[in-house]
Structure 1
Amino acid sequence: MHSSAIFLIEFGAIILGLGLLGRFAGRFQFSPIPLYLLAGLAFGTGGLLPLGASEEFVAIGAEIGVILLLLMLGLEYTASDLVSNLRTQYPAGLVDAALNALPGAAMALLLGWGPVAAVVLAGVTWISSSGVIAKVMGDLGRLGNRETPVILSILVLEDLAMAVYLPIVTALLAGVGLAAGSLTLAIALGVAGLVLFLAVRYGRIISRFVSSDDPEKLLLVVLGLTLLVAGIAQQLQVSAAVGAFLVGIALSGEVAEGAHNLLSPLRDLFAAVFFVFFGLHTDPSSIPPVLLPALALAVFTAGTKIATGYWAARRAGISAKGRWRAGGTLVARGEFSIVIAGLAVTAGIEPDLGPLATAYVLVLVVLGPLTARYTEPVATRLAARRRPAPATGASAPAAETLEPVDEGTTG
């Protein structure tokens, strides 16, 4: 009875604290993710007041948080959208991977962490935060901008790449051999391909089977199906997160919209628990030794993300201002980076990887909204300073009349 009371007190305090932190972040219009991570650092190993009774439950909640994050991400896209993005935007995805994954891998090798840690850190620096970026674009009123489809295409391609990347990382962390790893990847690709085929060909039938006018029944069926598929995927060493992502892709139309509305509060709750859980398993005293590499990596990969967005928007025919906005918006890292680092922390491959990933995400999840807001005006101001002033009484150069107009929010 006493331990049950302690559990309720601890877990209730966690949820209440997260709610207050979320309100604080909302008041100042920035992502609450860094506050959740800091809360975990404060109450975890080496923190101010380590938790005991509720840690096991928090661990289960964190796993559910990852599953719901990926499910909700899958609900955002239809299978046809994914296929279309693969066909038209894959060059931007390749540039994104090259510019942003390689710096993470190089940093891990420079620190002497070995090839497995290099693959993990490559994923940490590669994947942008879809949740933070979506919120920032909404807050800035840019959802109708010409560059927004370019940003979303890159995010979709990163999400698709996760379906291949996560099984590879899972196999590497498990220490399986080449044959077993190849089998795991083959299973993952086969399952992903099968789900995409079924979603394109029979998506309406699947959605009709899941559909219900009763919100309670819809919630139970979607959540139960997601957890079941995630469990089966994990049993096959594919990754529970990938299984949840594929379930989200398979659902479409009114079912996807209804499930999104019902599951959003659950997603927010358990995702917050996940970030706290990651912080709980990171000793604050382990961050200062890796703070300098984390800052260097954050600054460098902020630049490579800006370059990625600029190149992709230029390829799509967007004006210079829109290119800078696209690049600055992609800088934020968040949930995916922590998910990937969390796999490595659980496997125990490198004790400094978790602290470095925490510091890296903390820097970029704060810096990301700032680059989204200020990259374009700063770049425009610098370009204006470099441009020579026209002679008095002379007409403007002909080239300036051909400068493309700014693609701002339509309407």
Structure 2
Amino acid sequence: ETLHIAEAIGALLIGLVLAETDHSERIEHLIVSFRDFFGALFFFSFGLSIDPFALGGAVWPAVIAVILTLLGNIVSGVWAGRKASLSHRASLNIGLTIISRGEFSIILATLAKAGGLLTSLQPFAALYVLILAILGPLLTKESRWVYNRLRPLLKWPLLPDRRRLRKNPGH
């Protein structure tokens, strides 16, 4: 408080200092059991702090941010995969699996609100994280469907159906 640092940043700094001591392993062993509980409690309190009526004003900015995130992650994944000589489909899978859900943005939005900055960040962050938490695993699970929809648009080669090849190895 004296240094005007948010409690979370102060805790991070103290953790960094204690990590360099001879007691770091013991401290980590004692603290790690509380991490998940307090993490869940933090997100619960974040949800309680959001005015549901404020979500409406954050819908379009959140949708735009989600679209940009999806495009950025897919392009990055495909680029990295192709650089590593992976197939288009494997490269797309990389892009789909790195779709972040943005939990860290909730932490930043909470710190911003505590600091008196942009209170509209909380509803935006909540919607952004919620949409990505739903879309990320769904798109990853349905990566074959996504590939089959993008393939003609991006002029990627048609891959043989592996199931058919296993049944008829001579064809």
Q: Look up the SS of the partner of 2:142 in the other structure.
A: helix
Aligned CA-pair RMSD? 3.5
- 2:147 match: 379
* 2:72 counterpart of 1:318: no
- 1:334 match: 102
- Distance in structure 2 (CA, Å) of the matches to 1:241 and 1:284: 30
* 2:129 counterpart of 1:361: yes
8 Å contact kept, 2:112–2:119: no
* 2:44 counterpart of 1:243: no
- Distance in structure 2 (CA, Å) of the matches to 1:249 and 1:323: 37
8 Å contact kept, 1:278–1:342: yes
User: TM-score scaled by structure 2?
Assistant: 0.70
Which is bigger in relative contact order (C-alpha 8 A, separation at least 6)?
A: 1
AA at the equivalent of 2:43: F
Structure 1: tracts of 5 or more residues without a match: 1-230, 390-399, 401-411
AA at the equivalent of 2:95: G
8 Å contact kept, 1:328–1:376: no
- 1:347 match: 115
Shift of 1:371: 2.2
AA at the equivalent of 1:328: L
| Matching residue within 63, 74, 77 for 1:309 | 77
- Distance in structure 1 (CA, Å) of the matches to 2:39 and 2:157: 51
- Distance in structure 1 (CA, Å) of the matches to 2:90 and 2:134: 22
AA at the equivalent of 2:13: G
* 2:17 counterpart of 1:286: no
Closer, same or farther in 2 for the Cα pair 1:244/1:364, shift >3 Å? farther
* 2:66 counterpart of 1:298: yes
Closer, same or farther in 2 for the Cα pair 1:359/1:382, shift >3 Å? closer
- 1:274 match: 42
Structure 2: tracts of 5 or more residues without a match: 160-171
Shift of 1:278: 1.4
AA at the equivalent of 1:243: L
> Within 5 A, what are the aligned runs for 1:11-410?
235=3, 237=5, 239-240=9-10, 242-243=12-13, 246=16, 255=25, 259=28, 263-380=31-148, 382-383=150-151
Which consecutive aligned stretches of 4+ in structure 1 deviate over 6 angstroms post-superposition?
none
User: TM-score scaled by structure 1?
Assistant: 0.32
Deviation sequence 1:310-337 (CA, Å, 0-9, x none):
2223333333232112111111323211
8 Å contact kept, 2:102–2:128: no
